[in-house]
Amino acid sequence: MAENTNQSGTPFPLPRVTIKFCTQCKWMLRAAYFAQELLSTFSTALGEVALQPSTGGTFVVEIFHATDPSNPSANAQSRILWDRKAEGGFPETKELKRRVRDVIEPGRDLGHVDRHNGPATRSAAPGEEASTPAPAPAAATATATATTASSTSKAGGGTAASTATGTGEHKENKVVCEDCQ
């Protein structure tokens, strides 16, 4: 299969966001949702958003961008925006949008996304002082993850409940990959 290259000589349009997700954990819909949100927000500022099936409990969002935006023949540079294993869960959509914005359009205002949590938590553009990013509240992330897991089990997302003992207790039997446990 021949690879198409863009004007910069890279085999894909820049900036490019890739979302690697575990197929065994059934995270394709989550990955597709994040892709749709990024495309809706950044439209033509993104060259491509790609979904890459993987295994092993993987959920990694990575961006490839030109090292010098004014020079289209510059080499591509990659940066991991989110790694589920390193960050301890899945990103809030707002946080993922902030991280993408910080790479491709640092001066852009994201409207309600920036106003909701006070001052924008973004990297400094050339000539600006860096702002200290506010840490994401762990309780909110844990609640969102638990809510998603609960919704998935109610919707038949690969979880089956069975009676463990005669006392009416239910034991969860999850069908997930080894690394996700």
pLDDT tens across 142-154, in order? Answer: 444 444 444 444 4
> Tens of pLDDT along 6-58?
555 557 789 999 999 999 999 999 999 999 999 999 999 999 999 999 999 99
User: Taking 50 as the threshold, does the pLDDT of residue 138 lie above it?
Assistant: no
The arithmetic mean of pLDDT across residues 67-83, rounded, is 81
Residue 69's CB is within 10 A of a number of other CB atoms, namely: 12
Q: Which of 108, 113, 111 minimizes the C-alpha distance to 96?
A: 113
Comparison of pLDDT for 70 and 45, the residue scoring more: 45
The C-alpha atoms of residue 20 and residue 153 are separated, in whole angstroms, by 22
Mean pLDDT for the chain overall = 74
Q: Which CATH architecture has domain 16-149+166-180?
A: 3-Layer(aba) Sandwich (3.40)
User: Taking 70 as the threshold, does the pLDDT of residue 64 lie above it?
Assistant: yes
Domain coordinates in residue numbering, the chain? 16-149+166-180
